[in-house]
Amino acid sequence: MDYFPFIQTSNLDPASLKHGVIFIGMTTILGVIALLQTFCEHKHFNLLREASVAIIIGLFIGVITEFQVFQKASFDNSSEIFFFVLLPIIVFKEGYNLNKQHFMKNFFYVVLYGIFGTIFNFMILAALTYSLTNTSIFWVPPNSTNVNDTASNSTYAQVFYSSCISSKDSAVSLSVLEFEHAPKLHSIIFGEQILNDVVVFAISKTVEKFHNEKGVKNNDWEWYSPLIFIGWILANLVVGLVVGVLVGSIATWITKESRFLSEQSSVVTAFTIYTAYFSFCVCEALGFCGVLAVLLCGIMLSHYQTYNLPKISATSSKITIKALAYISETIIYFYIGYMVTENAIVKNSSDYNLKFQVYTFLLAQYFVFSPIAKLTSMLMAHGFAIILRLKTKGPWRINKYEFFILFYSGLIKGVVAYALICEQEVGGEDYYKIIQTASLYMVVLTTLINGGTLKYVCEWAYRQMEKDSSVYYSRSQSAQSQAIRQTFIQEDQVDYKKLKHKSEKFFKGFDEKYIKPFLIYQYNERKADIQVAKKLEKNKTKYEKEQDFKMYDDSVKQQREELELHKQKRNELTQIDVDQSDSDDEQDQHQESNGKKHSPSQGELSELKLSKQNNGVHKND
């Protein structure tokens, strides 16, 4: 009987084997990244954040693939996967996990920096970048003989690059400024990130459409061109708003009426994810930006749909969506690190002039243009608020050190900047290479350098706040505020929690009276139970946080006491004087000799004992 092995190498399909090895390697790499991220967070390695670890691993894999044995391996770098599969779930997670109460409390700064700051940043950065067209040091000059390197493509590439690089990433910032320690700055950065994504996507979509319809036909702008540009931006925002609210309302109403759907937690989670992608694809199919649609869809489902579901279904949906967003962000950051050695500029080693132009353009953007544009846009946004006579009071107001933290964290670029440029080939071939490589290295440099040093910048800023006489701190602090002080975060949370914006009061009344009864199953009958459950959950969360802070405070005190005791023992051991110890020994010997001279003899002791007995006999008589 012949022996046939279960697996025969002659029958293996090379294509299947290749794809299987690629997927095995990819899953292994993602698992290693997850382990390293949690290990760095556990060990408090401030220089390595989650995004930094993924980029470094991607860079390491990119270097390995440069060896000759891996040269035949080909990878499909499809930008549609980034734009239509990975990005929507990331944006949807931001809306689905939005803390709406704190978002409304910081509504002033969120709108100020998220909308006006982003628009001003785009305008300033586009103007500074456009100034590079007059020199061949930073940019490829337009060439009328070359079809690709035309003046129209040059302007389009620079404006599109400015719109994409105006985006910011809050993942690193939010990991440093946690909500429990810094609720005000955390809410401002998170809210600014949401509106920043919406505005950046709208502007980039408008720049693309404006170039396709106007730039190709006529290179010269008319006096009404800026009005058309603004009109298209507003159209993207309005269509996204309508689609997001409509799709989110319909999906919530379906879960309200279809009670059998809530019986299956996994099906409800899948239905929620399908709804997110549906809202995004509808806007993109209509030719508009789908980011605002998927963001508002997430907010609608989080605010209304969760009341139509069992608690376990709502919890599983949030966990699943957060996990999918984490996987998507990790894949994109890994791909960004991998493309550092795989981009067209690095691969093309012959054109040294183009390399010099790319790297000088990158240095000018990182060290000069990006900081100037960010700082000027924030100052202009504040000036715009002053013109409109918008004021903030109490815990709403941020000081100069918090302003600097917001400025420094705003320099960090994320996945949106690179994914938007990868979506299409912008302008000519040379211009696309420049802006793609520049955006790639901007994301890598800002994530590794700015993101790695953000923790130390925050510590410095809050130490300066301690020295500032205008900042008031109460001496009688609770365990929670004491723990906050020890982590260099100093915010008056008591006053902050009491804040209620006027828009928040208006929306809450309108929501309770009209929207919730329409979208939530038997809301009027369940209203009291829902409010009690919300209060219990809030008090439970508050109690758990207080216990965590108390444990943290006790551990810090214990560590300090042990450290002081160790220092005291060490000082006692190091301050021993040999001469002093010898003098103490001599003194002890002298006392012993004196004691021997005056000590009574055996006869004297017997006489004393007889006298005491005689005295006792006389007393008895």
Residue 216 has pLDDT above 60, yes or no: no
Least confident of 96-100, 325-329, 425-429, 504-508: 425-429
Q: How many CB atoms lie under 10 A from the CB of residue 174? A: 17
Cβ(158)–Cβ(369) under 8 Å? no
Average pLDDT over residues 7-16: 64
Instruction: Give long-range contacts, CB 8 A cutoff, 24+ apart: 522-525.
Output: 523/307
580 exposure class (CB count in 10 Å sphere: 0-12, 13-18, 19+): exposed
State pLDDT tens for residues 139-190. 776 666 666 667 777 788 888 889 989 988 888 888 888 776 777 888 888 8
User: What is the mean pLDDT of the segment spanning 543-569?
Assistant: 60
56 in a structural domain: yes
Quick one: average pLDDT of 81-88?
A: 85
Lowest mean pLDDT among 165-174, 328-337, 492-501: 492-501
Q: How confident is the model at residue 585 (pLDDT cuts 50, 70, 90)?
A: low
Per mean pLDDT, which range of 26-35, 434-443, 590-599 is the poorest?
590-599
pTM: 0.76
The pLDDT assigned to 275 comes to 94
Mind listing the pLDDT tens digit for each residue in 242-293? 999 999 999 999 988 888 887 788 889 999 999 999 999 999 888 888 888 9
How high is the pLDDT of residue 486? 38
Scan for tokens 């791909």, then name that residue.
335
φ, ψ for residue 141, nearest 5 deg: -65, 145
Q: How confident is the model at residue 373 (pLDDT cuts 50, 70, 90)?
A: very high
Is residue 259 assigned to a domain? Answer: yes
Structure confidence at residue 485 (pLDDT)? 39
Q: Name the least confident of 75-89, 279-293, 497-511, 541-555.
A: 541-555
Using an 8 Å Cβ cutoff, are 155 and 411 in contact? no
Q: What CA–CA distances, in Å, run from 103 to 39, 109, 187, 295, 620?
A: 31, 10, 6, 14, 97
pLDDT at 47: 83
Above 80 in pLDDT, residue 616? no
Give the least confident one: 6-20, 109-123, 223-237, 397-411.
6-20
Does residue 407 fall inside a structural domain? yes
Amino acid in position 124:
I
Domain contains 338: yes
Task: Provide CB contacts within 8 A for 317, sequence distance 6+.
Answer: 96, 265, 268, 269, 272, 306, 309
C-beta separation of 430 from 437 below 8 A: no
Query: What pLDDT is recorded for position 488?
Result: 38
* Of residues 536 and 523, more confidently modeled: 523
Higher pLDDT among residues 600 and 148, named by residue: 148
Return d(Cα 137, Cα 153) in angstroms, integer: 18
Please report whether residue 579 resides in a domain.
Answer: no
Q: Is 90 contained in some domain?
A: yes
Residue 113 buriedness (CB in 10 A; 0-12 / 13-18 / 19+): buried
For the segment 78-104, the average pLDDT, to the nearest whole number, is 83
Residue 393 belongs to a domain: yes
Quick one: what percent of the chain has pLDDT higher than 70? 68
- Residues with Cβ within 8 Å of 84's Cβ and at least 6 positions away in sequence, in order, are 280, 281, 284
> Do 276 and 297 touch, CB atoms closer than 8 A?
yes
Per the listing, tokens 């409010």 go with 531
pLDDT at 466: 76
How far apart, in whole angstroms, are the C-alpha atoms of residue 293 and residue 385? 28
CATH code of the domain containing 406: 1.20.1530.20
Higher pLDDT among residues 116 and 583, named by residue:
116
List of E strands, 194-255: none
Number of domain units in the chain? 1
Tell me whether residue 518 is in a domain: no
Domain that holds residue 445: 46-142+151-215+225-471
Query: What is the predicted pLDDT for the residue at 474?
Result: 44
Please list, in sequence order, all residues whose beta carbon lies within 8 angstroms of the beta carbon of residue 162, skipping any fewer than 6 positions away: 122, 125, 126, 129
